[in-house]
Amino acid sequence: MMRTRISSAASLTLAPLLGAAACTFLSSLDDLAGVPADGGAVDAPADTLGGDSSDAAPCNRDLSSDPQHCGACGNACAPYELCVAASCIACDSANHDCDGDGWLVAEGDCCDKPGDCGDQPELINPGALEIPGNQVDDNCNLFDQEDIAPCDTGLSSSSNVAADYARALGICRMAQAAPEKLAKTWGLLEAQLLRADGSPLGDASARSIRTSFGAVSPSVVEGDALVVLSTGIAADGTQTNPGPNQGAPANSFMSYFHQPISQVDLSLGCPGSACIQDWFASANPPLKAAEALPTAPECEPPFNPSQAFDSVMLRLVIRAPTNMKSFRFRSYFLSAEYPVFVCSAFNDQLVALIDTPTGTPEIANPADKNLATYVDSELQKWPVGINVAKGTGLFSVCESKTDNPDCWNADVATASCSSGAAELAGTGFEKPTGGSCTLGGATGWLTMAGNVVPGEPLELRVVIWDVNDASYDSMVLLDGFSWHPDAVNPGTSSVAE
């Protein structure tokens, strides 16, 4: 199909989990993306008491300080005991990190052994997330409610402060990069608004903070605001500062070109360290080859894959809580590419890249780092974008073939559009005045989940861009970031699952 173009200047399991929507706290989403992976306990290797010389090696040495073989082979000390001079003695919290969580009592650890402070002391320290209502001072600061209040009220829609976008997403605690031990809490370390190559974002229209978006429901997932990132103007059909988005009801074509011209080559050296060239160069077969964009099953690959038009990135560096192993956030993808360009070379990209530079989580994240990947019931992988409409029901907010057969694309699966087009009203993607077809479609709210190393930094890069040209805009709404105590199966799921 030929593409119409227009001219432009730019070519611990905890139960129950808490269910209230609030800022960076536990939410009961276990039926969504990131459900704890099913697996039994793994037996630890048994200590060897005999056998060949290699099996006996653990005992062929000085055993006077070995807690597993204290003074004699197989004489293991009990939990919270030390092996001193070949005898097991009670661990002294004044001088030792008895629970092995990295904090001494002198450094702020209020629970170094099981007792009144809690029965899992290794999860209680200044770096932990406070879990309201569990009768435990998880982070040892004498408070029990500080991690639940939203922090996104009154944010400017056009804020140029990147940390405001973290607040709108639901990340409320700020942290220091190299603090004293007592101040080494979880929280936001760094935030940036960039282009896909890591260079500064040139056009402020590409990002905004909103309290609603057309008829999207719920209007926000957490707190009072959400993040909007756009390859065009980050607004619905009536919002301003920036906006409106130049779509319906006034216009029948939604294509805004970022100014100054925004076109970056992901195959070349990048000016910024946040550049997503690492993702572009990586492979995650069969979904993605090295030096290529992910390709949906049976769909046409882009012919100009390394070029990212009108890109915008929200980059966050966050230190994870010491008592959490994963996180989730919600996303809502909309595109004017739908339905005409489903399964064509024009498939605007959305990626959510997770890095854990200090180690590998309990369950590894995807090989290409991208959480914006959906795995269907047949275990086929799909990149989150309009092409999920080809073979899944994930693209659910749109006009069905039954409702409007004249505006249907044969490449769209009949499972698509299960929610109808009502939530497109007011977004700019609905039918324009006098038009017979909507200007686009959407996924509805999805859940993206990834794994972390407890207590260590993670980098999250959410990026959206136009592929092959700068025409036909796409957007993503982001909200509802939350931490969770169990490792998860990373990726994207629909809320209904």
pLDDT, one tens digit per residue, over 148-173 is 788 999 999 999 999 999 999 999 99
- Nearest 10 degrees: CA dihedral of 75, 77, 78, 81? 170
pLDDT given at position 268: 85
- Region of residue 277 (left: phi > 0; alpha: psi -120 to 50; beta: else): alpha
- Region of residue 379 (left: phi > 0; alpha: psi -120 to 50; beta: else): left
Place of tokens 């103007």: 233
User: If you ran DSSP here, which 8-state letter would residue 9 be given?
Assistant: S
Place of tokens 């605007």: 348
Distance from chain centroid for Cα 244: 28
pLDDT given at position 209: 98
pLDDT given at position 146: 67
* H or E segment and range at residue 171: none
pTM, to two decimals: 0.87
**DSSP codes of every residue in 213-260:** -TT-SSS-SSTT-EEEEESS-SS-SS--SS---S-TTT-S------SS
pLDDT given at position 226: 98
- 339-362 mean pLDDT: 95
Rounded Cα distance between 168 and 313, Å, is 15
Tell me the β-bridge partners of 284: 288
pLDDT given at position 123: 96
Rounded Cα distance between 147 and 149, Å, is 6
pLDDT given at position 23: 42
Yes or no: say if 230 and 207 are a contact pair by the CB < 8 Å rule. yes
Place of tokens 């080559």: 265
pLDDT given at position 303: 86
Kindly report the number of other CB atoms within 10 A of residue 263's CB atom: 20
Q: Report how far apart, in Å, the C-alpha atoms of 183 and of each of 173, 180, 186 are.
A: 12, 5, 9
Which of 202, 224, 174 lies closest to 271 in space, CA to CA? 202
Rounded Cα distance between 129 and 146, Å, is 10
pLDDT, one tens digit per residue, over 422-439 is 999 999 999 999 999 999
Which letter, b or e, does each residue of 7-23 get, where b requires 16 or more Cβ atoms within 10 Å of its Cβ?
Answer: eeebeeeeeebbeebbb
Largest CA distance in the chain: 88
End-to-end CA distance of the chain: 34
* H or E segment and range at residue 337: none
pLDDT given at position 179: 85
- 6-29 mean pLDDT: 36
User: By percentage, how much of the chain surpasses pLDDT 90?
Assistant: 78
Residues 448, 207, 316: CA angle, nearest 5 degrees: 50
Averaged confidence pLDDT in the chain: 88
pLDDT of residue 186 exceeding 50: yes
pLDDT, one tens digit per residue, over 205-214 is 999 999 999 9
Read off the pLDDT band of 68 (50, 70, 90): very high
Check the CA dihedral 42-44-46-52 and report its sign: positive
> Which two three-digit tokens encode residue 13?
């399991």
Q: Which of 8-22, 314-328, 385-399 has the lowest mean pLDDT?
A: 8-22
In one letter, which amino acid is 159?
S
pLDDT, one tens digit per residue, over 228-266 is 999 999 999 999 999 999 999 999 889 999 999 899 999
pLDDT given at position 121: 96
pLDDT, one tens digit per residue, over 461-478 is 999 999 999 999 999 999
Q: Which of 223-232, 235-244, 375-384, 456-465 has the lowest mean pLDDT?
A: 375-384
pLDDT, one tens digit per residue, over 101-146 is 999 999 999 999 999 898 999 999 999 999 988 889 999 988 776 6
- Region of residue 431 (left: phi > 0; alpha: psi -120 to 50; beta: else): beta
